[in-house]
Amino acid sequence: MLFSLLCGAATVVTATASTLVTRVSQYVPVDAASSILAPFVSFSIEFSSFPDFAGNKSQPNKFSNQLLENLGHIQGVQPYIRVGGNTQDFALYDANLETQINGTVIPSLSEDYPSIISIGPSYFEAYDTFPGVKFSHGFNLGKNTTEGLNTLLATVPLACKALSHGNFAHWELGNEPDLFNRQVRPKNWKESDYVEEWLSKSRIIHRQLMRACPHLAHEYNYLAPSFAGTANGLDPVKTWQAGIDSDADIKLNSMHNYMGGADSPGVTLARTLMNHTAVVAKVQSHVAVMKSLEAKGLAKGVPYILGEMNSLYHQGKPGLSNSFGAALWGVDFNLYCASQNIRRTHMHQGTNYRYASWQPIETNKTSIGTKAPYYGNAFVAAMLSVGTNRSHADVQVVNLPMEQETESAYAAYVDGKLSRIGVVNMQQYNYTVDTGSTAVVRPSTSYQFHVPGISSNPIPVRRLMANGTDSITGITWDGWSYNYELDGGNPVRLSNVTIGETVQADTDGIIRVELPLSSAALLSFGN
């Protein structure tokens, strides 16, 4: 049986066949989304956590670097990293600080990151530890004080010199300023006020950059406006109308997204994360912004991305955000984004964060290690790969409608031709073994895809698997484990997981593939 060796004792019984036969074109449909920006799979790292994730020149974090290299190998391009988040707007510069960062946690504000932060000159050594990775550096906009301005003046030269080695991607000024009028600005602070301040300080950055790193002038660009969402405070459309791109220096229209709050009532895996209907609703709020901007002739030619996103804000919820179910959510959410003209996503990370793809260091709260969401990152990277040894490839994604809100499927086209189909089953299956000797039965569902004119060649199938929805360990992608405990994050092929599976189309061009509940599969067509 194909699934007899799936990370544990669970076995698969006869599949329930889906009544839907999904038609898939061999060539990219005319209404397909725009090509993704490679790398699509990218990350955002909390400003205060960046030294933990990256280390410094004398002690680089080799584990983090290995995990990034894995994804770079899979998708053909190393992930980009945006360094920012709430704490970028807390950080003040101290030229005499001998450590990279000094932070004080104020539990009444947050137990997950420091709310009083000083960074020293060595903070910027972290940008030298990930070869081949490009970074976006986040400047402090929140501190509208003399010390905030002095920090801006002092850190521009340090940041630009650290990002002068082919590792610069973008600048960012302020994190989620649409929420500033709740705490750090007057309540009547509006879009035009924000734009006026953003333009003033971005021009200060430009002047400092021209003095310190004039060779970077031709790469001067921003992620902006970096709002928390589409309806949280300031209006993103009004912000563009107010002239945020007056200097034509915004390269990516960056917004943020979370599915809900870790402590919000009614948040569950089934209702909030492993639910394609919920994913569609969240992504469509961004689509509405894109359509409004287009209708008003704004942000022309500026790709829309999610510069920070993950499952549940407030750094995730144990048992949800760190589970295999969250990895499956990550696959569905990212691929649906790609199918709706969201051109790149940066999944947010932080030390001890419950939704993190990996924990970079050992702490008294969390053990160092690769977490469940990372395996979802690997699946998305494989689905959207531009290929190896290629300078460029157009990868477009089409959403393939399914019958149930607990399932989704996507087609990826490379240079106009069908390259991959990804299928996700999000029906919950919580792994337990009874007290007897009989293994728990794990049902599966059969999916059918009609690809007219498809050849009869065997079609490789790679699987994202775990013992169940609630698993936080024992997860594999195509039989690979990236666990820290095995080889420091290097890929290790497990002997107890079935690999090398193939399927074939029948004479009518129908391809059938079975998925155990709570799993995902990727079919590849050889291009």
Residue-by-residue DSSP string for 19-57:
EEEEE--SB--TTPPPPPPSS-EEEEEEGGGHHHHHB-S
User: In the chain, which segments carry CATH 2.60.40.1180?
Assistant: 16-26+399-524
At residue 480, what are phi and psi to the nearest 5 degrees? -90, 140
Q: What percent of the chain has pLDDT over 90?
A: 90
- Whether residue 403 is predicted with pLDDT greater than 50 in this model: the reply is yes
* Euclidean distance between CA atoms 220 and 493, whole angstroms: 43
Return all residues near 436 (Cβ < 8 A) that are at least 6 apart: none
d(C-alpha 262, C-alpha 240), whole Å: 31
Please tell me whether residue 145 adopts helix, strand or coil conformation.
coil
Q: Report whether 63 contacts 488 (CB < 8 A).
A: yes
- Here the tokens at position 294 are 């287009």
Instruction: Render 381-399 in DSSP notation, one character per residue.
Output: HHHT---TT-S---EEEEE
Give the Cβ contact number of residue 16 at 10 Å: 12
d(CA 226, CA 224): 5
| Kind plus residue range of the DSSP H or E element containing 465 | strand 459-465
CA–CA distance, 349 with 361 (Å, rounded to integer): 13
> Does the structure show a pLDDT above 50 at 6?
no
> How many whole angstroms from its chain centre is CA 313?
14
Q: What is the average per-residue pLDDT within 311-334?
A: 97
Q: Tell me: the pLDDT tens digits for 269-309?
A: 999 999 999 999 999 999 999 999 999 999 999 999 999 99
Across the chain, mean pLDDT equals 93
pLDDT at residue 458 in the model? 96
Give dist(CA 272, CA 452) in Å, integer.
36
Q: What is the CATH number of domain 41-390?
A: 3.20.20.80
Does the structure show a pLDDT above 90 at 407? yes
Query: Three-class SS string for 91-142?
Result: EEECCCCCCCEEEECCCCCCCCCCCEEEECHHHHHHHHCCCCCCEEEEECCC
Name residues whose C-beta falls within 8 Å of residue 31's C-beta, 6 or more positions apart in sequence. none
The whole-angstrom separation of Cα 407 and Cα 416 is: 25
Q: Are strands 11-12 and 16-23 parallel, antiparallel or unpaired?
A: unpaired
Which residues are tagged catalytic?
Answer: 191, 308
Return all residues near 475 (Cβ < 8 A) that are at least 6 apart.
Answer: 7, 324, 327, 372, 375, 464, 465, 466, 481
What's the angle, vertex CA 104, arms to CA 101 and CA 107, rounded to 5? 140
pLDDT (mean) for 38-61: 97
Distance CA 504, CA 454 (A): 10
Range(s) of the chain covered by CATH 3.20.20.80: 41-390
Cα–Cα distance measured from residue 270 to residue 259, given in angstroms and rounded to the nearest whole number: 12
The Cα 302–Cα 288 span in angstroms is: 16
Strands (DSSP E) contained in 263-379 are 304-313, 342-349, 358-359, 369-370
- Each residue of 134-185: pLDDT tens digit? 999 999 999 999 999 999 999 999 999 999 999 999 999 999 999 999 989 9
- How far apart CA 208 and CA 488 sit, in angstroms, is 40
**Closest C-alpha among 349, 481, 399, 465 to residue 84:** 349
Each residue of 356-400: pLDDT tens digit?
A: 999 999 999 999 999 999 999 999 999 999 987 665 789 999 999
Phi then psi for 521, rounded to 5 degrees?
-140, 150
Query: 16-26+399-524 adopts what CATH topology?
Result: Immunoglobulin-like (2.60.40)
Please give the sequence-ordered ranges of beta strands (E in DSSP) within 133-249, or none if there are none: 135-139, 168-173, 222-227
pTM of the model: 0.94
Strands 41-46 and 16-23: unpaired
